[in-house]
Structure 1
Amino acid sequence: MLKLTQTFDIHTDVISSILAKEETVRRGKDCADVADTRILNVERDGGVVYTWKGASGTTRVGKYDPHTKQNKLLYTFDKQVCISSCSLNKEETLLAVSLTRGGEECFKPVSTCLTLLIEIHPVNNTKVLKAVDCRVKVQFLYPQPSRNTALESHLLLAAEDGYVEQYHILLVKQEGYRVVMQNQERLVRDRVAEDFCWAQWDSGPQRLFYLTCRDKHVLKCAQFFPDRNFEILFELPLELSIIPFTSVRFVNFGHDHYQEEDNEGLKMVVFTDRTGTMCVCYSHPVYKQKDRMYTIAFVHRGFSKTYTVALEQTTMSTSTANLQPLFIHLGYYIVVYLAGHFLHLINCRQQDLLCHSLFLSGADSLVEELGTESVVVNVPGRRLLDIKSGRIYTTDISPDFLLKLLSSSRPEAQRLASLHCMLVHLGPDQDLEEKIINWISENVMSFDAFDQIQEYILASLYRICYQQSLSLDKVLPYSSVFEKKELPVALTAIPGVKCTPELLAQPLIKGKGRSLQGYWEELQWIVERLKYFEAVSSPRYRTTQIKSDWTKLQLALNSEKKKSLNHLRHLEENTKKVLSMVDTWRLDKRIVPLFQEEDQQQRVLVGLMVDKLREHLNRHLPRLGKKKIDMLVVNYVAKLLEMVRHMLESVWLKLKLGPTVLCLKQQGSSEDWVMFHVMCRILEATRGLCLPLPPGYSTLLTVLGVRCLPRHTFLQYVDHGFLQLTEPFVSRLMTDLDNSDGNEELKFSVLKRLPESMEQRVCQLWDHPISSACISREYVRTRLEKYTKTKGSVLLDKDETCFKPKFLPLSYLASILSHMEEQASNPFEEQENVDARFVEETALKQTLIKLGFQDK
């Protein structure tokens, strides 16, 4: 499940270089015992600070630069010492080292711990910062790269006594290259925190989280700024019913190889993301061997969830190295991993249902790089450090593994979670997206728990718009399962996992102006909106909310008064904006013939969706402004239409379909049938969510329906409203098919199902006597409606001798038509004048039929 990519290996990147240099110094003598290399710290710039024991009884400190792939010696102690903490400033002019008592050959100060500040450019003075009987952690601040701070450094010093201090170190240049401390005897320092039992340093955003344990447990955060100032910007009371720690814990302050890890107590870490998320993750002490408990406090959602996992006895590990799970931050997800037992991929943005997270056990949860004996810690940049092997990995989720979880043998909840993970977390990836579409085309039938096409559309649109504006997270739909009246049990529970939710106390976010820019501004807005979203019944937009309005508009479209509706004209303006943004990069190649015709129904639905979504965002996110909301909404609907076309193009190319698909004279092939089936499922999925389709979709689907379905089945699809008889389709039907008995029957069946207005237009395209009769009847009806009786009687008296007396009704009719023909032009454009002889014969035939003298 986890994809670990090795970026550093202490054996290949460091030890080989050290051995080569030591061998050169000792002139080929055996030097295999000179390298006892250990990683001490990983700085913000990615540099790895490490130590090793020299052959001459020295202890050396070096740095590996991941950008240049070079190693640099920083400092050498003339005896073997035990370094428990170490940090290098950004300019590589100062080295802070915390020494502790170790073996017999370790450095033995009077106190247990000795903290030194060493000038290393060049090696010069050494200042004692602390000589105490408790362990001390050191960490240099790394200001923004654009700020010139070469002559000023800031150092954090955190002691097990429960306090953190910040030292301000001013530097001066001597002789053009020497950088030394200025007034090193009196360094300015500030007290940052005190009375804490747990502290975590985040080097990326330069933040210090710590947990106070005086009266109650309060999580606080100090934000450090480039101008040497810091502020306590965040406080959150935590209800911890258990004793958190037996001793002070430090997270991300490097690794102390001389202090044993306490695996039985509470393990805690805080994860933040630029999107405004904050998750406090901690495990519970192990009381029973058969289960594990861990809690994720979603600060940005206002609640926490405690998970209790029952471990399978058959997979119980005898190792005690990893009694507590490892927490890994991947941005959109948090991974909870217990080697040999389970891997829980928790969606930290969407926590409404358990099915949007993924729980794996047994062989599925195995991460080969992280064995049961590994000691793994988080390092900056969302990476992992394996202390024992000396390797650093970047972490991500394996798309190939997620694709395997889509197989039919998997539970539907796993398939839903893996689909969302690929679409939202891993996307956009063209190759992966093609594989997902291929999976959809091969599994076109909807599952019991969810509709995979609806999930593909909503999750992809959510990712696209969510990246443009983080505020849309709470108001845009991301899954169609919420449209179901009753949720399946498979989506609300995980076998073997118990989930207990609890409300969190309201966090306090302090600071003003510059202090709350960036992440803190986003988190503050999210926290402030929590109460509003809790009070609103449905802050998240549901596409089905427009169904009633859409039904009314469909009735209006079929009425004669539709042109008088101003609302329709307004919706048409919305549609024009959307279609102007639709990507037409392959329109000229006509891979799939969409966006090439007027489709009044789909155009109105496009405009209606823009209207309703814009109204929803203006109500819930007024801070975005109407102009930006309008842009976001238009882009949302345009991407929806593009997505449908992209799905069709992918299947079209996979099936190797060509222009013959649009030929009605040929029967559909097996590939045409697959395309028709996929398009039917897309239509069903979009109708279920009341989503619009690209103009031309209905025509293409109906053409495929004629080619693939038996004639009677095709007409049933039409009668039930699944296939739409569009004017381009009927025009193609009338012109492409000959007048054989079967085709003639189909044409008649289609004509009688058309609205009267469309029937009049398409009848002219069919070269058939009955079609001509229809044209003639319509022509006569139109003329007679405009002709008054007085004009008719005058005409009859005036020229009575020109008609045959044998059949006076016909003579009277012909007289009227002849007179009209002389006075008026033909109303049918691009048609020749009506043949009076033909009209006479047709009228006679129709009259005889009416009188019962002739059969139809």
Structure 2
Amino acid sequence: MPQSPLLLVRSAELEAPDSAQAFRRRCPGLPGPGRSRTESGRRGEAGERKEGRAPQGRRARWRAERRAGNARGAGPEPPAGRVPAMALRLVSDFDLRKDVLPWLRAQRVASAAAGARGGGPGVLENNYESLRILNVERNGNVIYTYKDNKGNVFFGLYDCQTRQNEHLYTFEKDLHVVSCSVNSDRTLLAASLVHSTKEGRKNELQPGSKCLTLLVEIHPVNNVKVLKAVDSYIWVQFLYPHVESHPLPENHLLLVSEEKYIEKFHIQVIQEDGSRVVIKDSGHLPRERVAEDFVWAQWDMSEQRLYYIDLKKSRSILKCLQFSADEKFNLMFEAPLDITLSDSGFKLVNFGCDDLQDQENLSKHLTLCVFTNHTGSLCVCYSPKFDSWEKFTYSVFYFHKGHGKTFTAALGSVDSHVTKGLTFLNLDYYLAVYLPGHFFHLLNIQHPDLICHSLFLTGNSEVVDMLPHSPLQSLSGSLVLDWCSGKLYRALLNQSYLLQFLWNTQLDCEKMAVLHCVLSCGGDRRFLEAKIIQWISENISACHSFDLIQEFIIASSYWSMCPETSNMDKLLPYSSVLTWNTEIPGITLVTEEIALPFMKVHSFKGYWEKLNSNLEYVKYSKPHLHYNNSMVRREWHSLISEEKTGRRRSMVYVKNILDNATKVISNLEARNLEPRLTPLFQEADNHQRLLMGLMVSELKDHLLRHLQGVEKKKIEQMALDYVSKLLDLVCQIMETSWRKHSLHPCVPHFSGRASAAEFKVFHIMTRILEATKSLFLPLPPDLDNTEKNEKLKFSIIVRLPPLIGQKICRLWDHPMSSNIISRNHVKRLLQNYKKKPPSSVIHKSSFSVEFLPLNYFVEILTDIESSNQALYAFEGHDNVDAKFVEEAALKHTMMLLGL
């Protein structure tokens, strides 16, 4: 339907958005405040209060972290008014120096005092240089180790829930710990150790040296059993049940051998003498082979999954084992990888924290890791061995999308030596790729098709320089370990920084990427949308590659709906941009199709059900299933046409559509605590209500066709909420611009020149029209042709710049437009008209109305037109002639006379 910016000109005033206090911090997964009491030795024994750790909540802890400065680590939330130059926030979960060291020193002092009272030598000074993290278990508990001055090896555990430390076990020998794990009940400790040299470094397994893998009873300290004594390294990892409400009679332990096999031990325990827990039949522990002939393996502690790669005829095959609650396991899928690992050596990921490799030379080794998220994504990240000082290449295989991308990033000058390894971090909907001092990339793994939906920051950016330059190890979920400093972080996108970046960036591709990054973070959505609308109003003409308003409306509606229900991301549009051909500075990209994983299990639950759904979508869903309003457009025009011809479909059908519209309008009113001063989508305009109702009806039918297993009532509500969200965003943009320029209900006036503010608001409203027209969204109702509204429309057009006014009139199919076109045409014809003797004959037969003044006037115009064809040399002349002017003038005259 023809729609004009005129339809948007309504007086408005809107309450200002909330202040930054509404922009609450969001840090999922942080442990609770816990207690400040520490333990001395065994659990439950009283100890001294930790240094500087009074009982406190999250906000108090953040304040304490800020006071601690860089010693605490990067990323605490800044005070109000300050924004850190970091796209990534690293929120500290654990710090060896602050959460463990004070307790160890208190233990030493207590032990020395006890030794002095007993007449013994006491405890010598220990600077704890050997203190390091060994493992982070599924429940978040951290296992660490240190040596005393005699080389004795101590094992300790930090409980992330109670924030207390516990001494687990001590080996009274000078050993180096390769790997360590504790069961969920903290009754068994598994450890692999090698002998240390005199210089304090580990023996690199020269012939004759041994790696001992031991199983220790620690509740209470009792028996020690040797599981392995071999000339190769062994890594250990207890499986953790998904239900931890009661102690389990059987424990399961994975042993990963450098000789390329993985075994699982079944360890039964029994309880004796009350709380004494011992291994049942320790002389015979059943075991089974889990995998063999592999070159790479990764442990996902939170989801209890084992990924590994075996080589079949020089092909790299990725496999995944899922361990269930009863600790059985299933091979879930196999997927070929187009990478070569035959000469890369043996590599493990997330099997504890070891220092077997020289970390300063990480850049010389390949990097490979697997990431998943709750939406059913499966990404394999790969960086080959580094071989150039000018560029860095890495690949991401998006198995849930059926393609892979290889990114090549320019490093700048040849002096930019790479000494650190590449880090991949899992950020839920995004994947961070970080090379210290060189670049920081945020890859959109939910929608990786277009490169403009990912953000690429170079080494010149403050963002890169502010991040830690030590290697980071990505654990399960958003956990990140800085092994050099002994700190454990939660990695989160920094919404505050991204909003600031949105204002400062000049590149269209970065504006697109950051807009989606900000919206994906969640938080106080109303406040967030107000901030983005404020940015849009200031940068309405700043983007050339896409429509800012249209992209915001689609993206914000998508992010408000898709996290709630699986598969909604396949059914709702994500972006207004379908193709992107503009290059990203400093980045080259190659995209290739990849073979989909072959699922080996056919009964799916949870993540596996979503992954399988994604794979099925890639196989069979072409074209895409994203909803669009094309059906709405056709149906709406059909209903309007039927209304004009007097034919109409069943009253029940039309009533249902109008009922949908009533619900949408009710939803819009409910989203605001106070009534809007711009009465958008509120008047009783049947055509617009039909359009609103049709949008709900068509979207509901679309979702019903493709959402399996979701009840009809919930789908109806989702369709209603989505349409309401679209229209609410239009209202927000409109009202924000009106409020910003302090326009009131008395505007627009019927006379006088428009102010600068009115022109700016009108410009915003024309851009809203452009954005919503292609989306076929309902706009504020068409004003009828009453005398009051005719004057209102005319007052708007006459105050516009002449060229704009002429263009609008020619595009607007409306009586008022015809009137103005006629006036302009007559004015142009009569500018140089010289009066001629009147004609003695008036051809009455050529006119339909006997109105002499009009007949005379039209005859003059006809004479001028016929005598001078050069007068037609102006835009739109083919639509304007004397006959057109006659009809417009007659209609206007009859309206004024009330005929």
After TM superposition, the score normalised by the length of structure 2 is 0.73
- Offset at residue 330 of structure 1 (A): 0.5
**Aligned match for 1:522, one of 573, 591, 610:** 610
**Aligned match for 1:225, one of 318, 324, 339:** 324
Cα distance per residue 1:309-342 (max 9 Å; x no partner): 232116613x52x1x4211111111111111111
CA distance in 1: counterparts of 2:586 and 2:388, whole angstroms: 16
- Offset at residue 608 of structure 1 (A): 2.8
- Offset at residue 474 of structure 1 (A): 2.1
- Listed as ranges, the gaps of 5+ residues in structure 1 are 726-745, 754-845
CA distance in 1: counterparts of 2:677 and 2:343, whole angstroms: 64
- Offset at residue 386 of structure 1 (A): 1.0
CA distance in 2: counterparts of 1:142 and 1:419, whole angstroms: 39
SS at match of 1:571: helix
Cα distance per residue 1:511-533 (max 9 Å; x no partner): 244xx210111111221222212
CA distance in 2: counterparts of 1:466 and 1:532, whole angstroms: 21
Which of structures 1 and 2 has the bigger CA Rg? 1
CA distance in 2: counterparts of 1:563 and 1:259, whole angstroms: 75
Contact 1:698-1:723 within 8 A present in 2 as well: no
Cα distance per residue 1:188-240 (max 9 Å; x no partner): 22211111111111011111111111433211111111112111111112222
SS at match of 1:313: coil
Residue 566 of structure 2 corresponds to which residue in structure 1? 470
Amino acid at match of 2:171: F
Amino acid at match of 1:148: H
- Offset at residue 583 of structure 1 (A): 4.9
Relative to total residues, which structure has the larger helix share, 1 or 2?
1
Residue 420 of structure 1 corresponds to which residue in structure 2? 516
Residue 283 of structure 1 corresponds to which residue in structure 2? 383
- Offset at residue 126 of structure 1 (A): 0.8
Contact 1:402-1:422 within 8 A present in 2 as well: yes
- Offset at residue 613 of structure 1 (A): 3.0
- Listed as ranges, the gaps of 5+ residues in structure 2 are 1-86, 114-121, 824-889
SS at match of 1:254: coil
Residue 358 (structure 1) aligned with residue 455 (structure 2): yes
> In structure 2, do the counterparts of structure 1 residues 591 and 191 end up closer, same or farther at CA, with 3 Å as the change threshold?
farther
Greater relative contact order (CA < 8 Å, ≥ 6 in sequence): 2
CA distance in 2: counterparts of 1:747 and 1:305, whole angstroms: 53
Contact 1:147-1:226 within 8 A present in 2 as well: no
Structure-to-structure mapping, 1:246-645, within 5 angstroms: 246-261=344-359, 263-313=363-413, 316-317=416-417, 320=419, 322=420, 324-364=421-461, 366-368=463-465, 370-372=467-469, 374-407=470-503, 410-426=506-522, 429-445=525-541, 447-482=543-578, 487=579, 489-490=581-582, 493-513=583-603, 516-533=604-621, 536-544=622-630, 546-556=632-642, 561=647, 568-569=654-655, 571-586=657-672, 588-621=674-707, 624=710, 628-645=714-731
- Offset at residue 16 of structure 1 (A): 2.4
SS at match of 2:545: coil
CA distance in 1: counterparts of 2:228 and 2:814, whole angstroms: 82
SS at match of 1:143: coil
Residue 123 (structure 1) aligned with residue 123 (structure 2): no
Amino acid at match of 1:36: S
Residue 87 (structure 1) aligned with residue 181 (structure 2): yes
CA distance in 2: counterparts of 1:331 and 1:585, whole angstroms: 29
Structure-to-structure mapping, 1:61-72, within 5 angstroms: 61-72=155-166
Contact 2:426-2:478 within 8 A present in 1 as well: yes
- Offset at residue 264 of structure 1 (A): 2.1
Structure-to-structure mapping, 1:614-693, within 5 angstroms: 614-621=700-707, 624=710, 628-652=714-738, 654-655=740-741, 659-661=745-747, 673-693=759-779
Cα distance per residue 1:778-817 (max 9 Å; x no partner): xxxxxxxxxxxxxxxxxxxxxxxxxxxxxxxxxxxxxxxx
- Offset at residue 89 of structure 1 (A): 1.1
Point out the more displaced range, 621-630 or 471-480.
621-630
- Offset at residue 565 of structure 1 (A): 8.4
Contact 2:213-2:229 within 8 A present in 1 as well: yes
Point out the more displaced range, 641-650 or 148-157.
641-650
> In structure 2, do the counterparts of structure 1 residues 721 and 565 end up closer, same or farther at CA, with 3 Å as the change threshold?
farther
SS at match of 1:59: strand
Residue 11 of structure 1 corresponds to which residue in structure 2? 97
SS at match of 1:405: helix
CA distance in 2: counterparts of 1:687 and 1:30, whole angstroms: 79
SS at match of 1:438: helix
> In structure 2, do the counterparts of structure 1 residues 107 and 421 end up closer, same or farther at CA, with 3 Å as the change threshold?
closer
CA distance in 1: counterparts of 2:534 and 2:403, whole angstroms: 38
Cα distance per residue 1:118-166 (max 9 Å; x no partner): 1111111111111111111111111123553433221111111111111
> In structure 2, do the counterparts of structure 1 residues 694 and 461 end up closer, same or farther at CA, with 3 Å as the change threshold?
farther
Amino acid at match of 2:611: L
Contact 1:596-1:696 within 8 A present in 2 as well: no
- Offset at residue 291 of structure 1 (A): 1.9
Contact 2:639-2:648 within 8 A present in 1 as well: no
> In structure 2, do the counterparts of structure 1 residues 565 and 24 end up closer, same or farther at CA, with 3 Å as the change threshold?
closer
CA distance in 2: counterparts of 1:122 and 1:564, whole angstroms: 80
CA distance in 2: counterparts of 1:167 and 1:707, whole angstroms: 85
Contact 1:399-1:432 within 8 A present in 2 as well: no
SS at match of 1:572: helix
- Offset at residue 462 of structure 1 (A): 1.2
SS at match of 1:481: coil
Amino acid at match of 2:437: G
- Offset at residue 665 of structure 1 (A): 8.8
> In structure 2, do the counterparts of structure 1 residues 52 and 572 end up closer, same or farther at CA, with 3 Å as the change threshold?
same
CA distance in 2: counterparts of 1:116 and 1:365, whole angstroms: 47
Structure-to-structure mapping, 1:743-782, within 5 angstroms: none
> In structure 2, do the counterparts of structure 1 residues 707 and 211 end up closer, same or farther at CA, with 3 Å as the change threshold?
farther
**Aligned match for 1:201, one of 279, 295, 299:** 299
- Offset at residue 443 of structure 1 (A): 1.8
**Aligned match for 1:42, one of 117, 136, 156:** 136
Cα distance per residue 1:420-458 (max 9 Å; x no partner): 111234455443322111101112236210111111110
- Offset at residue 265 of structure 1 (A): 3.0
> In structure 2, do the counterparts of structure 1 residues 176 and 720 end up closer, same or farther at CA, with 3 Å as the change threshold?
farther
Amino acid at match of 1:387: W
> In structure 2, do the counterparts of structure 1 residues 19 and 206 end up closer, same or farther at CA, with 3 Å as the change threshold?
same
CA distance in 1: counterparts of 2:813 and 2:732, whole angstroms: 21
> In structure 2, do the counterparts of structure 1 residues 2 and 712 end up closer, same or farther at CA, with 3 Å as the change threshold?
closer
- Offset at residue 556 of structure 1 (A): 4.8
Aligned residues between the structures: 722
Point out the more displaced range, 435-444 or 706-715.
706-715
Structure-to-structure mapping, 1:93-108, within 5 angstroms: 93-104=187-198
Point out the more displaced range, 679-688 or 254-263.
254-263
CA distance in 1: counterparts of 2:670 and 2:299, whole angstroms: 49
> In structure 2, do the counterparts of structure 1 residues 592 and 69 end up closer, same or farther at CA, with 3 Å as the change threshold?
farther
CA distance in 2: counterparts of 1:414 and 1:512, whole angstroms: 41
After TM superposition, the score normalised by the length of structure 1 is 0.77
